């Protein structure tokens, strides 16, 4: 009887506990042991800063970098090279109770933030999920300043914006990106491999869905991509997304793909004119020996230069996910490229 008991326990552990632990370890590369890194050994544009899903914004003379982490991690810099830990958006005590509504085991580890400034305050959208739990949702918080030393500094929880219940059948509602269009309308892009990417209009005044009962969802892809990001340049909307294997250190195959459209709702097309709705894409950036996986990007535009901000699984850091910031150029066809053509990719931002 004792032998049978221990066999049952062993089967339970192997079947349920090991996959969960493996997935948890794979989920956040920032939790892996961090080796000492010689910056001289890192590839160009790569910094010895451990991040995942980075997005950057500037207030006054300080750059703020927000990333996946407990309560959403952030770091600060005055030169985009030397970074200091700044803490988190939500402490354990400040975590909104609604996070556990759809995912009871949500532990405060929040994914893929996106931040923008308009109408006098900062708007931060983020993913509320858990590894292999697709009852995901997108949260929203606002602040009048990003400087923790400012007396007015306070992140206000604005609640849930959209969830798996109204975000599209089968869609994993994560990885938000806010876009303000030239007509002043606000849009939210989101989604992941599970049923693809979506676009929905927001009420600019509330930061929530324009129609919370029956949101009008635009299908951007049926399965392609995650970590979507939208830019506007010279009459085109350019869409970026990550594909491939994420979160696996040197086994990662993450890469960034792109498409463009004359209208915000698309359909977005490749350089060859094939539709993103059918999961076609044009490659923007892929991995190499030194950094097999590169992806989940944001962008920052300053003084006429737009830079892509992303994480890369780096061999010189034993596969850790490091911060990369590099300028984006324009190729002869007007498309963005990382090759130095001498002409920067010109982005128009609307607020």
| pLDDT of 34 higher than 80 | no
Residue 140 lies in a domain: yes
82 within domain boundaries: yes
pLDDT of residue 131: 87
- What DSSP state is assigned to residue 102? T
Q: With bands split at pLDDT 50, 70 and 90, how would you rate the model's confidence at 38? A: confident
DSSP-derived secondary structure letter, 165: T
Higher per-residue pLDDT: 177 or 21:
177
Residue 298 pLDDT > 60: yes
What are the start-end ranges of the H helices in the chain?
A: 2-12, 18-27
User: In this structure, is residue 164 part of a structural domain?
Assistant: yes
Instruction: State how far the Cα of 201 lies from the Cα of 188, in Å rounded to an integer.
Output: 6
Q: Is residue 14 part of a domain?
A: no
Percent of the residues in the chain that have a pLDDT greater than 70, as a whole number: 90
Return the active site residues: 53, 226
Q: Domain total for the chain?
A: 1
**pTM score, two decimals?**
0.90
Residue 268 pLDDT greater than 50, yes or no? yes
For residue 34, tell me if it sits in a domain. Answer: no
Q: Is residue 16 part of a domain?
A: no
- Residue 91, pLDDT above cutoff 80: yes
Contact assessment for residue 282 and residue 271, using Cβ atoms and an 8 Å cutoff = yes
CATH (domain of 91): 2.115.10.20
Q: Tell me whether residue 30 is in a domain.
A: no
- pLDDT at 299 exceeding the cut of 80: yes
**Residue 216 within a domain:** yes
Note the pLDDT of residue 81: 96
Both tokens assigned to 279: 């999961």
Average pLDDT rounded to a whole number, residues 206-222: 96
pLDDT of residue 37: 85
Residue 148 has pLDDT above 90, yes or no: yes
> Which residue(s) pair with 69 in the sheet?
110
* N-term to C-term CA, the chain: 70
The pLDDT of 326-337, averaged and rounded, is: 98
pLDDT averaged over the chain?
Answer: 91
For a pLDDT cut of 90, what percent of the chain falls above it?
86
Supply the range of the domain harboring residue 135: 43-337
Q: Which DSSP string do the residues of 257-315 spell out, in sequence order?
A: EEEEESSTT---B-TTS-BGGGT--EEEE---SS-SEEEEEEEEEETTEEEEEEEEEEG
Compare 257 and 24 and report the one with higher pLDDT: 257
Look at 9-13, 81-85, 177-181 and tell me which has the smallest mean pLDDT: 9-13
Instruction: Report the alpha-carbon distance of residue 72 to residue 79 in Å, rounded.
Output: 22
pLDDT at 5: 39
């Amino acid at each position: 009887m004792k032998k049978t008991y221990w066999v049952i326990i062993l089967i339970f552990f192997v079947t349920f506990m090991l996959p969960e632990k493996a997935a948890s370890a794979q989920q956040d590369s920032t939790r892996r042991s961090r080796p000492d890194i010689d910056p001289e050994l890192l590839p160009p544009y790569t910094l010895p800063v451990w991040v995942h899903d980075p997005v950057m914004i500037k207030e006054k003379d300080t750059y703020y970098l927000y990333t996946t982490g407990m309560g959403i991690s952030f770091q600060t810099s005055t030169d985009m090279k030397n970074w200091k830990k700044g803490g988190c958006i939500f402490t354990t005590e400040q975590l909104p109770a609604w996070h556990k509504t759809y995912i009871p085991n949500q532990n405060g580890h929040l994914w893929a933030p996106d931040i923008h400034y308009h109408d006098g305050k900062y708007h931060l959208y983020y993913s509320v999920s858990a590894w292999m739990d697709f009852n995901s949702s997108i949260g929203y918080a606002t602040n009048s300043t990003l400087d923790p030393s400012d007396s007015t500094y306070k992140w206000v929880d604005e609640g849930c914006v959209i969830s798996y219940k109204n975000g599209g059948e089968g869609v994993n509602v994560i990885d938000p990106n806010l876009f303000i269009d030239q007509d002043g309308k606000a849009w939210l892009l989101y989604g992941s491999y599970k049923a693809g990417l979506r676009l929905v209009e927001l009420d600019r005044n509330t930061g929530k869905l324009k129609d919370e009962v029956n949101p009008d969802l635009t299908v951007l892809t049926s399965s392609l991509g995650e970590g979507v990001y939208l830019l506007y340049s010279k009459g085109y909307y350019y869409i970026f997304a990550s594909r491939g294997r994420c979160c696996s250190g040197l086994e990662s195959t993450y890469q960034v793909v792109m498409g463009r459209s004359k209208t915000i709702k698309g359909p977005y097309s490749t350089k060859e004119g094939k539709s993103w709705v059918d999961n076609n894409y044009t490659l923007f950036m892929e991995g190499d020996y030194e950094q097999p996986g590169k992806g989940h990007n944001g962008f920052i535009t300053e003084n006429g230069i737009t830079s892509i901000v992303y994480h890369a699984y780096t061999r010189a850091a034993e596969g850790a996910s490091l911060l990369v910031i590099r300028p984006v150029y324009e190729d002869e066809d007007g498309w963005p490229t990382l090759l130095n053509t001498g002409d920067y990719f010109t982005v128009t931002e609307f607020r």
